[in-house]
Amino acid sequence: MINAGIIGATGYAGAELVRILLTHPQVTIAAIGSVSFEGKALSDVYGSFLGICDLVCENNEEVINKSDVIFACVPHGLSQEIAVKCVSLGKKFIDLGADFRLDSEEDYKEWYGLDFTCPELHKRAVYGLPELFFNQIENTDIIGNPGCYPTSIGLGLFPAIENGLVKTDSIIIDSKSGATGAGRGLAQNTHFADCNEAFAPYKVASHRHTPEIEQTLSRAAGKQVTVTFVPHLLPINRGIISTMYVKLRDGVSKEQVRNAYEAKYNKSHFVRVLKDGDIANLRNVKYTNLCDISLHFDDRTGTLIVVSAIDNMVKGAAGQAVQNMNIIFGLEEQTGLEFVPPAF
């Protein structure tokens, strides 16, 4: 059995990790931590865990010492110090925050206002999007778990860009997320009265996930790619749907595009390329580690429109983190993650 520790277990992503790992056949939750709720039982914070997980929140050091793998669900800037302690003790470390997602320290400074405090660890860290970077993940002990928007977008656009089927100089991405994406902390735009019966973009062309999105797409293209990215807040709890607009290269057919996507994901446990005419829908991936992708074509403008749907708390956070853990420990990557989405 793998002893797992969760630092930041009382946040939304942390609580989702607990929910998933409780039924994982190869994992025991050895310890959980929380600065805000140290000394309190998780079931006192989330009543849904009453009698199911009554673990008491401990300090970070206790969580690290008791665990083989540590999941950090903390704000950016806090994970690097935790990673140093984990690696020094031979522990596996999976960061659900932003500290190990970006290759470039300059990008991290520009978008997060912080430095790489331990550059050597960043060189060892792997960006953990399993469907794209499986081979690197299985040989590392530090994972930067991708952000939710970059997961839906990276999976949605990678095959088209990797195969040179689309132009990369005018990519437009329109994404919409449920309110849990903002985390458990209070924010004006996620208050019920502001969010309910409302719909609007936010951080227009300035969202911190932009460099992460561009990093993944640049890897696919083999050159620098920039995008126009506009996120929106949906008045729902969970889910992300991204609609991406890219111009097809001259002479590229619909069959070539579909073949590229099906070839890329035909062995994937979690990415479903929908048949012609179907449209990716949040309802069909809710509470799962699935990513549904639908392909659409505007013949008048020569535009490929890709729609990608995920559950932001599972495939966009906790589920993908568990998928990464499975790969690191040599388990089948779907272990503990074969959830069936609700029909309605």
CATH number of 2-124: 3.40.50.720
- For β-strands 27-33 and 57-58, DSSP reports them as parallel
Q: What is the pLDDT of residue 186?
A: 65
For the chain, give every domain's residue range: 2-124, 149-312
Tell me the DSSP string of 129-195. -HHHHHHHHTT-SEEEPPPHHHHHHHHHHHHHHHTT-B-SSSEEEEEEE-GGGG-SS--GGGSHHHH
114-135 burial, b at 16+ Cβ within 10 Å, e below that, comes to eebeeeebbeebbbbbbbbbee
Strands annotated E in 248-299:
271-273, 291-298
Residues whose CB falls within 8 Å of the CB of residue 107, separated by 6 or more in sequence, listed in order: 211, 215
| Residues with Cβ within 8 Å of residue 47, at least 6 apart in sequence | none
The answer to whether residue 148 is catalytic is yes
pLDDT digits (tens, 9 = 90+) for 192-247: 888 888 899 999 999 999 999 999 999 999 999 999 999 999 999 999 999 999 99
Please pick, among 53, 57, 73, 148, the residue that the annotation labels catalytic: 148
Per-residue pLDDT reduced to its tens digit, 276-287: 999 999 999 999
Q: How far apart are CA 270 and CA 298, in angstroms?
A: 27
pLDDT in tens, 301-343: 999 999 999 999 999 999 999 999 999 999 999 999 999 999 9
* CATH superfamily ID and name for 149-312: Dihydrodipicolinate Reductase; domain 2 (3.30.360.10)
